[in-house]
Amino acid sequence: MYTIIKLFTGMVIAMTMVTTSLASPSEWELKKDKKNIKVYTKKTDNSDYYSFKATSLIKTNTQSLVNLMRDMSVMDNWLETCRDPIVVSEPDDASRVIHMKNDSPFFLISDRDLVLLQRFHRVSDEVVMVDLIDHGNDIGEADGHVRATFNGHWMFTKVSKTEVEVEYLGLTDPKGSVPSSMSNLVVLDVPFNTLRKIRKILHDNKTKYDSPIVIDSLLINEG
């Protein structure tokens, strides 16, 4: 059953705008496998930067993951390099535009900022997607920051009553004067640390986020 779910989900994702923008003839290469987190990279057409895909099985449920994603007060605690996240607008109950600052991992390289449309939708009873679509034209750059771009997604696949496979996929263009060779050095650390932090937060707060999802279109029986 799980294999069928994954096959169906893959077909749906292949038709989405975000995944299409990341499509490439190259294959994903496993670059890091540690603490039950796997990180893959691949070269993407029309970009000098590597896209990433990080996966992990987490003992939780999809509603807890969605509620954590929507809790702006803790986003900078789990999203690696993120700082000062705010909601810019909410087009509907399942979508919102967020702005965040990102600390540069390199000395003498300016910090970046991002504006993303975060769109939640259910693919099936077992799968929830969170599209991450660049909306960099919605507001101006933060002072002292360079506006980067990002496109990707989160995918939460219910494997059992107690486990969810979490996939974090994306492609960042830092813009400005950051050589691709330098940026590609950290493409493994950001998704790896992000998944590690999410797992710890949900482990340490087992009931805090285990409440009904506030987005009506996502509601199903999680039992």
Range 2-218 has CATH code 3.30.530.20:
yes
pLDDT by residue, tens only, the chain of 223 residues: 444 444 444 434 433 334 434 444 579 999 999 999 999 999 888 888 899 999 999 999 999 999 999 999 999 999 999 999 999 999 999 999 999 999 887 766 788 999 999 999 999 999 999 999 999 888 888 888 999 999 999 999 999 999 999 999 999 988 877 767 676 778 899 999 999 999 999 999 988 999 888 787 786 555 4
- What pTM does this model have? 0.84
Which uninterrupted H or E stretch holds 62? helix 62-70
Q: Which residues are bridge partners to 193 per DSSP?
A: none
Domain residue ranges in the chain: 2-218
Residue carrying the six token digits 């992990």: 56
Strands (E) in the chain, as ranges, are 29-34, 37-43, 50-58, 82-92, 95-102, 112-122, 127-134, 146-147, 149-158, 164-173
